[in-house]
Amino acid sequence: MKQQSLTPFKMKGKNGLTKKRILSHLIYNGPDSLASLSREMALSVPTVTKLVGELLTDGYLIDCGKQETNGGRRPNIYGIRPDSGYFVGVDIKRDGVHIAMLDFTGEMVMDMKQPSLVDHGSDAGIDALCQQIDSFIEMASVERSKVLSIGICVGSRVRANTGEAFSVFTSIDGSLRDILHEKLGIPVLIDNDSRSMAFGEYMSGVVEKQRHVLFVNINWGLGLGVIIDGQLYYGRSGFAGEFGHMSMFDNEVICRCGKKGCLETEVSGSALYRRFMEQLQNGSSSILAAEIQKGTKIGLQDIVDAAKNGDILSIELIESIGAQLGKHLSGMINLFNPELVILGGALADAGDYLLLPVQSSVKKFALNIASADTQIAMRHSNSSMNATVTHNYENIALLNLNLRFIYCFSVNFN
């Protein structure tokens, strides 16, 4: 039988909804038997058998063979067909674009990082981005009709329900999602990095049974992903989580939002970089000083790596940022009373140099009754679903984004 491409938008009616539930269950729980599926769906075995048979015929599922049992007749188990559909994730960053493709089970097929900058402020930049995505899909040697959706992740304010982005490609009038959909001919979803990473951790990271979670994204800026009772919280207009733009300091540092005194002017990767360079100019020593004197351009990751290699200046600055973060995170803990707070982003790679000051400040400033049941943890260093992928920030953000889009596809085909 010739493999068919998925046609999810034709899954309508009662049977279509049940098929979506079956696919969703198998995506999250792995291969399962007809008897187990019938219990999960609260349907008879003959009904589930019929629906699974149709999904097999349509190319959604595969027969995974017999299930191991302690005795008796071994039932067949069925799982998602990996090559029946693919997802592309696009992480638009300050220093380039990172693109990855996952199959329908969430396994990494291919990824590529483009170091060249895409002009975020012009129509030409959108065309260049589309060209990069088209070239990537072509290199992946996957039928374009099998690419089910493209997820765009940006580190800025996004109104996900309309697909509008307010800090990238600002020259356009309207929905970035719709424009990219029209140019690429593939459904596009868009969200910011903090929410995408929060949901990825919820689905496959450090989150276990917790349903009230805060994900703190400490990258060049500072963002917050909020999960309340197992659901992402967007707020009325989709801008919930702008933790970094709370006015906290009486300083003269202009934030990228245009205001002064925002939290991220002192608590973020950009703050770390600024303070590190200021300290060097004021005579402080660092293992990176010689490279800078040679004219080598260093980045945020270089400072984090220097801390991990014992550089005192880098360690002290990261610990200072961690203490400030913990102080202001205490207010979020008092406000949301979460079960779990996850520290993620580029600075999270510093490990205990960041985590311990955060924990100490939370103990000092948060209400004991509110923080008593709150665990503070680092993001999952192995949240990648492909063991061959290096565990750096970019890969984790991108894979978490794709996990979320697989979730959206399996639950909301239409």
What is the tens place of the pLDDT at every residue in 231-244?
Answer: 899 999 889 999 99
**What integer pLDDT is reported at residue 174 of this predicted model?**
86
Q: What is the CATH number of the domain that holds 345?
A: 3.30.420.40
Q: Report the distance separating Cα 78 and Cα 224, nearest Å.
A: 38
In a domain, 264, yes or no: yes
**Half-sphere exposure for 361 (CA within 13 Å, toward CB):** 20
Is the model's pLDDT at 66 over the cut of 60? yes
Q: Give how many domains the chain has, as a whole number.
A: 3
Is the model's pLDDT at 385 over the cut of 50? no
Is the model's pLDDT at 260 over the cut of 80? yes
Q: Report the distance separating Cα 151 and Cα 194, nearest Å.
A: 14
Give the Cβ contact number of residue 56 at 10 Å. Answer: 15
| Highest mean pLDDT (candidates 13-17, 357-361, 394-398) | 357-361
Lowest-confidence pick of 61-65, 104-108, 274-278: 104-108
Mean pLDDT along residues 11-22: 79
Same domain, 235 and 363: yes
In a domain, 294, yes or no: yes
232 forms beta bridges with 227
Q: Please, what is the angle between helix 123-139 and helix 176-184, to 10°?
A: 50
**What integer pLDDT is reported at residue 11 of this predicted model?**
56
In a domain, 2, yes or no: no
More confident residue, 402 or 163: 163
Q: Report the distance separating Cα 398 and Cα 404, nearest Å.
A: 10
- Side chain identity at residue 408, one-letter code: C
Domain carrying residue 117: 85-197+386-411
Q: What is the CATH number of the domain that holds 55?
A: 1.10.10.10
Q: Report the distance separating Cα 343 and Cα 128, nearest Å.
A: 33
Token code pair at residue 10: 């034709």
DSSP type of residue 254: B
Q: How confident is the model at residue 2 (pLDDT cuts 50, 70, 90)?
A: very low
Q: How confident is the model at residue 72 (pLDDT cuts 50, 70, 90)?
A: low
DSSP type of residue 260: B
- Side chain identity at residue 276, one-letter code: F
Give the Cβ contact number of residue 42 at 10 Å. Answer: 8
Give how far the C-alpha of residue 315 lies from the chain's centroid of Cα atoms, to the nearest Å: 27
Is the model's pLDDT at 168 over the cut of 90? no
Is the model's pLDDT at 329 over the cut of 90? yes
In a domain, 1, yes or no: no
- State the average pLDDT for the chain: 84
Q: Report the distance separating Cα 377 and Cα 363, nearest Å.
A: 14
Same domain, 147 and 281: no
Q: Is 81 helix (H, G, I), strand (E, B) or coil?
A: coil
pTM (global) more than 0.75: yes
Is the model's pLDDT at 248 over the cut of 80? yes
Q: How confident is the model at residue 161 (pLDDT cuts 50, 70, 90)?
A: confident
Look-up of token digits 């973020």: 268
The length of the chain in residues reads 414
Characterize 306-323 residue by residue with b for buried, 16 or more Cβ atoms within 10 angstroms of its Cβ, and e for exposed: bbeeebebbbbbbbbbbb
Same domain, 175 and 255: no
224 forms beta bridges with 216
Same domain, 158 and 264: no
E runs forming strands in 135-221: 147-154, 158-159, 164-165, 188-192, 213-218
Is the model's pLDDT at 404 over the cut of 80? no
